[in-house]
């Protein structure tokens, strides 16, 4: 009897769910990213997708991501998305080898695909219509130009993941923007190591005027190192990506600026683009750059509020 009840319960739940899923002729967009649920960066992007779902009455967004950084599971999620025949598919492409076949499969099945966050270099080859994200080289270049405007002539890139191509691109862009070849401080993300490496570099190179930090993890230890040597203001600091500590450091003038790739847009815009493509066949002719957005002393206070609300 109890068994019967549970079966009936499951069936009733099923009917309710399927009724909810196919209420009207809605535009159904599936977004598959590599962002793990616990990532602070990605929860902002997911909020963008969720808000697009809420803002657009005729559009349903389903957001999917693997529980761990697992490209195989992600490829399988994309395969499943293709099998469910959505009106549009948005994917991030951190590993074109592992995900390429699944994405090409989606394109072959006639599903419009937009990529977001990572994959700007491979998107076109895979048949993706447009990429929404930050191009690393241009973001670095923007940072370099800003540093140049501050009068910097000798600087270093702080690279916390040697071999990560994206970080190399950021530093190469920085070199182009600055017009001078920067030194490279290679570390891990271990805060003690970062702090000591920065201290050692500044001791050895007293003429260094700026450190360009290539990710948010080593940013605060670098600030501590510079602060510990009493060089705040003399050695200008800037970083990629945001965190609470970084924003406060920018607000307090310990850092010049932080480069924000505005990942909320990376969650929101693909939904809008795919919806408009489905409705009217519209699609931008070039990739959509969501960054670099610069957080400086002027807007840091606002950004702190938006960050707390989950938009930055």
Partner 1 sequence: MASVTANRVDERLQQAPLLTRLLSRPELGAIAGTVLVFAFFAVVAGGSGMFSLKGVITFLEVSAQLGILAVFASLLMIAGEFDLSVGSMIGFAGVAIAIPVTLYGWPVWTAVLFAFGVAVLVGYVNGYITVKTGLPSFIVTLAGLFVLRGLTIGLTRLLTGRTQIPGIHKFSEGDWLAPLFGSDAFKGLFVWLAARGWIDTLPNGAPAVPGIPVSILWWLGLTAVATWVLLRTRFGNWIFACGGDKNAARNVGVPVDRVKIILFIGTACAAALFAAIQVLKFGSADTQRGLLKEFEAIIAVVIGGTLLTGGYGSAIGPAFGALIFGTVQMGIFYTGVDTDWFKVFVGVMVLVAVIFNNYIRKRMTEAR
Can you give the binding site for partner 1, defined by CB under 8 A? 3, 6-7, 10-11, 13-15, 17-18, 20-22, 37, 60, 62-65, 67-72, 75-77, 79-85, 95-98, 100-101, 108-110, 162-164
Q: The tokens 């600026």 sit on which residue?
A: 257
Q: Where are the alpha helices (DSSP H) in 22-85?
A: 40-55, 71-83
Smallest distance from the beta carbon of 218 to partner 1, in angstroms? Answer: 17
Smallest distance from the beta carbon of 136 to partner 1, in angstroms? Answer: 16
Strands (E), 117-224: 130-133, 155-159, 183-186, 210-213
As a whole number of angstroms, the distance between CA 279 and CA 273 comes to 10
The residue among 95 and 248 lying less far from partner 1, judged by its C-beta, is: 95
Sheet strands side by side (includes 59-64): 59-64, 27-32, 88-92, 113-116, 130-133, 288-289
The residue among 79 and 248 lying less far from partner 1, judged by its C-beta, is: 79
Smallest distance from the beta carbon of 80 to partner 1, in angstroms? Answer: 5
Name the 3-class secondary structure at 185.
Answer: strand
- Report whether 143 contacts 174 (CB < 8 A): yes
The CA distances from residue 130 to 18, 115, 122, 282, 287, in Å, are 32, 6, 11, 11, 5
The CA distances from residue 289 to 8, 77, 121, 265, 278, in Å, are 50, 26, 13, 9, 22
Smallest distance from the beta carbon of 253 to partner 1, in angstroms? Answer: 36
Smallest distance from the beta carbon of 114 to partner 1, in angstroms? Answer: 19
As a whole number of angstroms, the distance between CA 128 and CA 115 comes to 7
Smallest distance from the beta carbon of 107 to partner 1, in angstroms? Answer: 10
The residue among 24 and 68 lying less far from partner 1, judged by its C-beta, is: 68
The residue among 81 and 225 lying less far from partner 1, judged by its C-beta, is: 81
Which tokens in the block code for residue 120?
């700007």
The residue among 79 and 190 lying less far from partner 1, judged by its C-beta, is: 79
Which tokens in the block code for residue 94?
């951190």
The residue among 96 and 180 lying less far from partner 1, judged by its C-beta, is: 96
The residue among 162 and 308 lying less far from partner 1, judged by its C-beta, is: 162
Smallest distance from the beta carbon of 29 to partner 1, in angstroms? Answer: 12
């Amino acid at each position: 009897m109890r068994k019967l009840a549970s079966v009936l319960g499951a069936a009733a739940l099923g009917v309710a769910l399927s009724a909810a899923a196919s209420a009207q002729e809605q535009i159904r967009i599936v977004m598959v990213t590599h962002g793990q649920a616990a990532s602070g960066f990605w929860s902002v992007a997911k909020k963008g997708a969720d808000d697009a779902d809420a803002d657009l009455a005729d559009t349903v967004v389903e957001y999917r991501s693997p529980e761990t950084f697992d490209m195989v599971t992600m490829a399988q999620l994309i395969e499943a998305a293709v099998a469910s025949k959505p009106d549009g598919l948005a994917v991030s492409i951190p590993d074109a080898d592992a995900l390429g076949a699944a994405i090409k499969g989606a394109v072959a099945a006639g599903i419009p695909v937009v990529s977001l966050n990572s994959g700007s270099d491979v998107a076109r080859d895979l048949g993706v219509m447009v990429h929404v994200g930050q191009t690393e080289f241009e973001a670095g270049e923007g940072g370099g130009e800003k540093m140049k405007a501050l009068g910097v002539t000798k600087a270093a890139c702080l690279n916390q993941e040697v071999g990560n191509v994206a970080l190399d691109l950021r530093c190469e862009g920085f070199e182009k923007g600055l017009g001078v070849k920067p030194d490279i401080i290679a570390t891990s993300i271990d805060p003690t190591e970062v702090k000591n490496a920065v201290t050692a570099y500044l001791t050895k190179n007293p003429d260094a005027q700026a450190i360009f930090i290539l990710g948010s993890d080593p940013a605060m230890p670098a600030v501590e190192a510079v602060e510990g040597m009493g060089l705040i203001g003399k050695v200008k600091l800037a970083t990629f990506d945001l965190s609470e500590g970084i924003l406060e450091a920018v607000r307090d003038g310990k850092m010049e600026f932080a480069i924000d790739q505005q990942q909320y847009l990376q969650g929101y815009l693909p939904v809008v683009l795919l919806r408009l493509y489905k409705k009217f066949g519209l699609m931008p002719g070039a990739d959509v750059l969501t960054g670099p957005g610069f957080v400086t002393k002027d807007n840091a206070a606002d950004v702190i509020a938006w960050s707390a609300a989950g938009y930055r």
